Structure 1
Amino acid sequence: MKIEELKTILKATVVVGEDQLDTVITGGGAAELMEDVLSAAAKGCALLTGATTARVMQTARVMQVGAVVIVRGKQPTEEVIKLARDFNIALLSTEYSLFVACGRLYMNGMRGLDGSW
């Protein structure tokens, strides 16, 4: 799935990364605790989270995440936006809850990172 499709499915706003909409996302995962991301994320995946701290982008960079989606209509701080630009990681925001956003992506073919199909 490309970031453009992810954007459409989640009715998301692209905060950073309009030039990355053709990037392919390898799967998806959701976490509020960045420690969970460190143990489960995969290169090129989408990370869905309600967290809006700089640590989200720092963790996304370490794990080579393809896109970060902030849920529940939360808006990232200027620091988070700057880091997304600096790290060249697409950053999106959706009004959907974490649960609903994950469900919508799953129903449209995105799979999780745990290997279950």
Structure 2
Amino acid sequence: MTVQSIKKLLNARVLGGEDMLDREVFTACGSDMMSDVLAHVDNQAVLITGLCNPQVLRTAEMMDIVCVIMVRDKQPDDAMIQMAAERNICLLATSLPMFSTCGLLYEAGLRGGASHGK
């Protein structure tokens, strides 16, 4: 699944990384606990979170996450948007809550990482 297809599915706004919409993602993780992300994410994943702080991007960078989706219309500040750009991470925002976002992505065929089965 591409980031562009995720954007359309979730009616999401691109906050940064417009040039990365053609990147593919193979798994997803929905969490506000970055320790869980570190334990359960595979490469080329999308992270769905309600957290809006630099730690999210540091975690995403360590785990080779392609895209971070901010749920509930969270809006990162300019510094966080710049940080994502420097790390080649696409930032999307959706008005949907995390549960609905995860459900739509699951229904569209995206699954969790190795520890959850593919």
TM-score range (shorter-chain normalised) is over 0.9
Deviation at 1:115, TM superposition (A): 3.7
In the alignment, what sits opposite 1:30? 30
Give the partner amino acid of 1:47. Answer: L
In the alignment, what sits opposite 1:17? 17
In the alignment, what sits opposite 1:116? 117
What TM-score do the two structures reach when normalised by structure 1? 0.96
Deviation at 1:116, TM superposition (A): 2.9
State percent identity of aligned pairs: 36
**Deviation string for 1:33-84 (max 9, x for gaps)?**
1111111111110000000000000110011101000001111112211110
User: Within 2, Cα distance between the matches of 1:37 and 1:115?
Assistant: 12
Q: Secondary structure at the match of 2:99?
A: helix
In the alignment, what sits opposite 1:94? 94
In the alignment, what sits opposite 2:63? 63
Across the aligned residues of Structure 1 and Structure 2, the Cα RMSD in angstroms comes to: 1.0
Give the partner amino acid of 2:25. Answer: I
Q: How many residues align?
A: 117
What TM-score do the two structures reach when normalised by structure 2? 0.95
Give the partner amino acid of 1:98. Answer: M
User: Within 2, Cα distance between the matches of 1:111 and 1:59?
Assistant: 20
Give the partner amino acid of 1:38. Answer: L
